[in-house]
Structure 1
């Protein structure tokens, strides 16, 4: 019979024997276990698919599963199935991922100690288990335990603890192998390194800073040195040969991943060999400690002189620079975690400084404690041990610690990272810093911009109900206000510009253009790029203009035109116009999506001739649904034909059509360094709450605060001083400040008192501005306090000026 179940054709004679069909159509006879064979292979491939995470392997396994499903359908329906075309018997599924990852961690912990340096990414390799591997691991465990005992008896406690830790890791690896796991023999480290004697006594006479730099370099030297001779070149050759053998073994075993990894390491050693052969500064500047040693080898002993020379040349370097160098040298996850820890520690310190400036001493002390708490984690990360970044407390305004930062070390920096010099505004770089007035102008302009940005975002986030983010922007605004007040005070007193820093702040910002109205669409035509020349025209003859058309209404579209630009195929128009559109109308969204803006580039053909069309460009505006600013370069067309050249245009809305949206943005933030002189008025209450430690006035200067305002602040806090210790402390600080203020004012001459009147006038204007801002925020209580301070400053101005007359 046939698998297809077909019967003889009715046209054939029953007496004649049926002719056999052609061989290609001859189905194979059915096998009794064909369905069972397909089912077994299908189940095996399905189990393997469930245990595989590699996308390429999953696609290959899915194709095999699909082929087996089709074969099963054919077999059940009686159609022929070619057994030879079926996928082969699948391999056994891998062991569960959890024990495997635990064994991998054990192996990595051992390798981190024996083979310090940047570890290459793990690759799939052929593992070995069984009694032989157990015996080898137990032997290594005993050797490390004996080495730990010897180190302890020699008085090297730290080395003994490290060896004991590795011994325990070997014990865990033995248990894992006994449980059925496998270990690559090439990854098993060699015997423990011999003990290194302690440095001789003359080294104790070195400077403490230099000793601290040389001490970490002595630990890697305890690893097993190579037996090869020939100095550094011989050491590199021996390690190259070892990695070539590992690469050859991996290629013979079909392990392409490990072979590629060995090839990458060999390329690093080739660069090191070339540096050694070049000699001189090339060899001295090469970081040989970044070369990963093969199994059984310690770090390069020749790397120590280079490190010693480098440390001798920079004996005054700080511990932070050494940690940064360690983070750069370390690779993989350990290096990423170390970099994240260093960055987070710096952020805690800067947050403490900011909190102290705004008078929030509780937050300042907490942030300083967090920064000190990073030290043990930094030491562990520098030693190659894993750290849990989830334990890091969040910064002010953050909801969680940067636990995911180590997984993405290339991500944008988080909050409070110091800007590079090249990132500063041009007005505050190079020779611009030599002109004090220019520096004051640039700092004042920047602070006013940051203050407006902070107030706008605080207002918007408060209206959106995001109180925590609004409070953070409000704090930034208060810091900018305090810095601006201090800057203006320094400028009034003709003092040199104060020191300043720019930092990167990672903050949530509302995506908007606050300078535009709600229904305003701004269109800017910036430049023409390589405009085509009409026939018979030279570039010096070309005179162009751009016509803008917004077809909101088919009958009467909105139009505008730029000015004419002569003699240039790359004209700079710098033209901006604004159209009023109803952003809530459906027709507006439809026009933005389907038709967009049209730009016609016209040129003058000559005297008494009509202007000609050089080309047209259309810009679709559908992206305004989710963005508020579009900056595009659009091609010039003649119908559907490109004529060459482009237009650079920008389109802005106040906020996207879908509504206000927030983004995590990096914002440059300016911080002014305050000296121990008189603080600006916006920080007086903060400073008094901090204990008044910086309340002193320098002799011979003019007070920058108002005595009447200080008395008003004391009157506000005094009723609460009996029940609130913080209020009592603030009152004491304000009273001390007022006494110093009066004493300084009593020693002032007529010229200084006239200058003091100018200070009072400036304070009055500042308080009026603060009251206006508070009213815009709908904070009537705050506005009333600032208005009261303004009245007190005006009253004192009248009293002092009347005595001068």
Structure 2
């Protein structure tokens, strides 16, 4: 949907005409998105980063063109391969091969945009004060679309697809600023808002919801069949993670069906709900609503209490936050209220160790955060989100009771703070004040840096949560909250049409720990990166070398060694493999520790023979792994040997564990940190 910046009768300037510069940029943008997605899927990280840089350039160009600013055609990133033939020839002269050695003729200027037809006019919305009725209809449309995204996020979370749930949630947050601008009579660029889910590709591919089930058994069977179908689709598309997830849920429903047939009780609240499915008959009573209201009242009482910050009893956190290394920007700091505990809570804490008390304070504070989030969702009439927040808060009660009993609790099971997703900026046009072009660039750069700092802090917080370090977890969460508040200030300043707030950079040094949270404790990943200047066997030319690498990891025993080999890279003596191999391990097994400390991994490099020709050896390489005792990753570039004789070739290999076998992989990081000076 394109929003006109003029009143009716003054023309429309944001239409994309075939042959125009804007049309070329839009086609190139689609090309880079496809290429980036393919590169990420195939594991080509360097290409993916290059395509992402081109994407950012094209997106900035498109925004400039839509705002009426000029863009140099020579700065448009070149075409890239998308892995599939294009459906239509590119209109940009940069994609056409030269037909003669002479200079190419200059392209005539693009024709003026045609006046919109009646069908096009239905997609144009004018938000000028002269048409207040349209603005009201637009706001209602935005409210419906926002609720659609929130419902999709909740359903995705119920299915266990957290990444998709976060994507839907971020999309829903984009509508808040747009609706605030509508209420104040400003114009809003609706083209920057997410499209209706009903018009998106995900919805078009989704199967239609089933009919209303006649009884509980039919409802359970319908849901089981849907998850089995989703499992088959995920396997067909090669997404093994989703396939396993859907298969687990289908088995969960199969167990519920057996229990229902046997007359045993079934906990329906633990069963995920597929999108669009009607409720199970008999499970939509008014008692749930009544219980929900009672819990909300309890949430209101709990949320008004001030949570006790871990470590504040001795002023420990206050002293640490005063250090320049981890100081939170002053604009977000305020006077702290001294925590007060009721007599009941004081009695509960008697006899609890200091470590358990720190865990207890941490989890009670997190539960209070989810209670407050539930109340805020209830005030916005978003009951589904409120229920989700309350369920999460209630799930923390078991851990809290364990901490009260003095037991050690694994805080890696504690969920992240609610609402930690960053909000994207919505471009708000003011008729009275306009930010300069330079100011818009500064806003964009500041927002990018603050978002990166926020994501970095949340990542460090999750890592320390996994390690059970509550002090560092809380510290990075506070730094993330500071970045989030700075983003809100930046968004408010931009919406008012002000120049960017004053800011400066501080040099900060902090301790971080390196882990690979996507790996389990029973996995070790070997990455064969590339070969360099490999020698060709006798009878093979250097440019005809078809190299591959194989290795045996003799664990759990030599007879049961785990064997792997890379794909063959043809016609290159410096092949880039970039292949990952996951090995099954037992970190505490004596045999595994002996392999790590003494033997390591031996690689064999070979040339692939042709028809009726055997493979020829290139050489061998030995990777030592003793560094895994103190580090979570070993990266080595080792010599390729022919027996005991160096060949001049090398091979790069990385080996990763979730975390070191002994201790922690602590690192010191120093970087420039952005701090806003101005408070609105």
Q: TM tier, shorter chain?
A: 0.3 to 0.5
Highest relative contact order (Cα 8 Å, sep 6+), 1 or 2?
2
TM-score by length of 1: 0.29
Identify the structure with the greater helix proportion. Answer: 1
TM-score by length of 2: 0.34
